[in-house]
A and B are shown apart, each in its own frame.
Chain A
Amino acid sequence: MTAAPEQATRYEAVIGLEVHVELATRTKMFCGCATDFGGEPNTRTCPICLGQPGSLPVVNRRAVEYAIRLGLALGCTIAPSSQFHRKNYFYPDMPKNYQISQYDVPICLGGHLDTTTAAGTRRVGITRVHMEEDTGKSLHVGTSGRIHGADYSLVDYNRAGIPLLEVVSEPDLRSAEEAKAYLTELRAIVLALGISDARLEEGSMRCDANVSLRPVGHTVFGTRAEVKNMNSVRSLGRAITYEIARQAELLTSGRLVVLETRHWNEDAGETSTLRVKETTEDYRYFPDPDLVPLEPDPAWVDELRAALPELPAVTRHRLATTYGLSGEQVATLAGGGLVGLLTDAVEAGAAPGEAANWLANEVTSWMNEHAAAAPPLSGAQLAELTALVGDGTLSTKLARDVLTGVLAGEGSPRAVVDARGLAQISDTDELTRIVDAVIAEQAEAAQRVRDGNDKAIGALVGGVMRRSQGKANPQLVNQLLRDRLTAGG
Chain B
Amino acid sequence: MTAALLTAGALGLRQLLEMRAVSAVEVTQAHLDRAHATDDRVHAFLRVLDDEALAAAADVDRRTAAGEETGPLAGIPLALKDILCTKGVETTCGSRILEHYRPPYDATVVERLRAADAIVLGKANMDEFAMGSSTENSAFGPSHNPWDLGRVPGGSSGGATAAVAAFSAPLGIGTDTGGSIRQPAALCGLVGVKPTYGLVSRYGLIAFASSLDQVGPIARSVRDAAMLFDVIAGHDPLDSTSIPVEVPDVQGRLEAGVDGLRIGVVREFLGEGIAEGVRDRVTDAIERLTKLGADVVDVSLPHAGYGVSAYYLIAPSECSSNLSRYDGVRYGLRRPGETTEEMMARTRDDGFGPEVKRRIMIGTYALSAGYYDAYYAQAQRIRTLIIRDFEAAYADCDVLVGPTTPTTAFELGEKTADPLAMYLNDVYTIPSNLAGAPALSLPVGLDDAGLPVGLQIMAPVLGEAVMFRVARALETDLAFDPTPAGPNALEAP
* Interface 9-mer from B5-13, B197-205, B277-285: B197-205
Known A-B contacts A90-B324, A95-B330; the reply to A53 vs B240 at CB < 8 A is: no
B327 touches A56 (CB 8 A): no
A96 to B329, CA, bound (A): 10
Give the number of chain A interface residues (Cβ < 8 Å).
31
Which residues of A are found within 8 Å of B344, using beta-carbon distances? 90, 92
B325 touches A96 (CB 8 A): yes
Q: Is B369 close to A, CB under 8 A?
A: yes
Which residues of B are found within 8 Å of A53, using beta-carbon distances? 85, 91, 93, 98, 101, 103, 206-207, 325, 331
Known A-B contacts A53-B91, A95-B330; the reply to A286 vs B372 at CB < 8 A is: yes
Q: Is A117 close to B, CB under 8 A?
A: no
B211 touches A289 (CB 8 A): yes
A62–chain B nearest beta-carbon distance, Å: 16
A95 to B332, CA, bound (A): 13
A193 to B127, CA, bound (A): 52
A222 to B238, CA, bound (A): 48
Known A-B contacts A53-B85, A53-B91; the reply to A291 vs B368 at CB < 8 A is: no
A52–chain B nearest beta-carbon distance, Å: 7
A185 to B181, CA, bound (A): 58
Which residues of A are found within 8 Å of B331, using beta-carbon distances? 52-53
Closest to B129 in A: A53
A55 touches B241 (CB 8 A): no
Q: Is A98 close to B, CB under 8 A?
A: yes
Q: Which of B84, B105, B202, B372 is within 8 Å of A47, CB to CB?
A: B105
B240 touches A52 (CB 8 A): no
A96–chain B nearest beta-carbon distance, Å: 5
A227–chain B nearest beta-carbon distance, Å: 25
Q: Is A328 close to B, CB under 8 A?
A: no
Chain B contact residues: helix, strand, loop or mixed: loop
Which residues of A are found within 8 Å of B318, using beta-carbon distances? 286, 289
Known A-B contacts A53-B206, A56-B238, A95-B330; the reply to A88 vs B324 at CB < 8 A is: yes
Q: Is B239 close to A, CB under 8 A?
A: yes
A54 touches B325 (CB 8 A): no
A292 touches B241 (CB 8 A): yes
Q: Which of B321, B341, B372 is within 8 Å of A98, CB to CB?
A: B321
B59–chain A nearest beta-carbon distance, Å: 25
Which residues of B are found within 8 Å of A153, using beta-carbon distances? 340
Known A-B contacts A53-B103, A155-B329, A284-B367; the reply to A88 vs B321 at CB < 8 A is: yes
A147 touches B340 (CB 8 A): yes
A286 to B375, CA, bound (A): 12
A220 to B324, CA, bound (A): 40
Which residues of A are found within 8 Å of B103, using beta-carbon distances? 47, 52-54
B210 touches A290 (CB 8 A): yes
Q: Is B104 close to A, CB under 8 A?
A: yes
Q: Which of B85, B209, B211 is within 8 Å of A54, CB to CB?
A: B85
B372 touches A54 (CB 8 A): no
Known A-B contacts A47-B105, A286-B367; the reply to A58 vs B340 at CB < 8 A is: no
Q: Which of B240, B341, B369 is within 8 Å of A292, CB to CB?
A: B240
Which residues of A (360-409) have their CB < 8 Å from a CB of B?
A: none
A5 to B344, CA, bound (A): 55
Chain A contact residues: helix, strand, loop or mixed: loop
Q: Is A59 close to B, CB under 8 A?
A: yes
Q: Is A282 close to B, CB under 8 A?
A: yes
A90 touches B341 (CB 8 A): yes
A54 touches B207 (CB 8 A): yes
B340 touches A284 (CB 8 A): no
Closest to B340 in A: A92
A94–chain B nearest beta-carbon distance, Å: 9
Which residues of A are found within 8 Å of B367, using beta-carbon distances? 88, 284-286
A290 touches B105 (CB 8 A): no
Known A-B contacts A286-B372, A292-B240; the reply to A92 vs B327 at CB < 8 A is: yes
Q: Is A33 close to B, CB under 8 A?
A: no
Q: Is A475 close to B, CB under 8 A?
A: no
A117 to B397, CA, bound (A): 70
A50 to B101, CA, bound (A): 14
Known A-B contacts A59-B240, A96-B324, A97-B324; the reply to A50 vs B85 at CB < 8 A is: no
- Annotate A90-127 by CB proximity to B: 1 below 8 A, 0 otherwise: 10100111100000000000000000000000000000
Closest to B364 in A: A284
Q: Is B419 close to A, CB under 8 A?
A: no
A59 to B238, CA, bound (A): 10
- Annotate A65-97 by CB proximity to B: 1 below 8 A, 0 otherwise: 000000000000000000000101010100111
A99–chain B nearest beta-carbon distance, Å: 11
Closest to A291 in B: B240
A54 touches B324 (CB 8 A): no
Which residues of A are found within 8 Å of B364, using beta-carbon distances? 284
Closest to A89 in B: B324
Which residues of B are found within 8 Å of A290, using beta-carbon distances? 207, 210, 240-241
Q: Is B137 close to A, CB under 8 A?
A: no
Q: Is A280 close to B, CB under 8 A?
A: yes
Assign chain B's interface to a size class. Answer: 35 or more
Which residues of A (12-65) have their CB < 8 Å from a CB of B?
A: 47, 50-59
A450–chain B nearest beta-carbon distance, Å: 87
Q: Which of A90, A92, A284, A292 is within 8 Å of B368, CB to CB?
A: A284
A58 touches B237 (CB 8 A): yes
Which residues of A are found within 8 Å of B202, using beta-carbon distances? 54, 56
Which residues of A (278-312) have their CB < 8 Å from a CB of B?
A: 280, 282, 284-286, 289-292
A92 to B339, CA, bound (A): 11
B321 touches A86 (CB 8 A): yes
- Annotate B358-386 by CB proximity to A: 1 below 8 A, 0 otherwise: 00000010011100100010000000000
Q: Is B107 close to A, CB under 8 A?
A: yes
B210–chain A nearest beta-carbon distance, Å: 4
Q: Is B407 close to A, CB under 8 A?
A: no
Closest to B205 in A: A54
Closest to A92 in B: B329
Which residues of B (371-405) have their CB < 8 Å from a CB of A?
A: 372, 376
Which residues of B (329-345) have their CB < 8 Å from a CB of A?
A: 329-331, 340-341, 344
Q: Is B317 close to A, CB under 8 A?
A: yes
- Annotate B305-338 by CB proximity to A: 1 below 8 A, 0 otherwise: 0000000000001101100110101110000000
Of the candidates A59, A90, A96, the one having the most CB atoms from chain B within 10 angstroms of its own CB is: A90
A153 to B330, CA, bound (A): 12
Which residues of A are found within 8 Å of B84, using beta-carbon distances? 54
Which residues of B are found within 8 Å of A292, using beta-carbon distances? 240-241
Which residues of B are found within 8 Å of A90, using beta-carbon distances? 324, 327, 341, 344
Closest to B95 in A: A53
Known A-B contacts A52-B103, A53-B98, A290-B240; the reply to A280 vs B325 at CB < 8 A is: no
Of the candidates A88, A285, A286, A291, the one having the most CB atoms from chain B within 10 angstroms of its own CB is: A286
A57 touches B240 (CB 8 A): yes
Which residues of A (446-461) have their CB < 8 Å from a CB of B?
A: none
Which residues of B are found within 8 Å of A54, using beta-carbon distances? 84-85, 103, 107, 202-207
A98 to B98, CA, bound (A): 19
B240 touches A47 (CB 8 A): no
Closest to A283 in B: B369
* Interface residue ranges, A against B (CB under 8 Å): 47, 50-59, 86, 88, 90, 92, 95-98, 147, 153, 155, 280, 282, 284-286, 289-292
| Closest 4 pairs (CB-CB, A-B) | A97-B324, A289-B211, A284-B367, A289-B210
13 sampled A-B residue pairs with Cβ under 8 A: A52-B105, A53-B325, A54-B85, A58-B240, A86-B321, A88-B320, A95-B325, A147-B340, A282-B368, A284-B367, A289-B211, A289-B241, A291-B241
* Interface residue ranges, B against A (CB under 8 Å): 84-85, 91, 93, 98, 101, 103-105, 107, 202-207, 209-211, 237-241, 317-318, 320-321, 324-325, 327, 329-331, 340-341, 344, 364, 367-369, 372, 376
List 20 additional A-B contacts (Cβ < 8 Å) besides A47-B105, A290-B207.
Answer: A51-B325, A52-B105, A53-B91, A53-B93, A53-B206, A56-B202, A58-B239, A59-B240, A88-B320, A88-B367, A90-B327, A92-B329, A92-B340, A95-B325, A282-B368, A284-B369, A286-B318, A286-B321, A286-B376, A291-B240
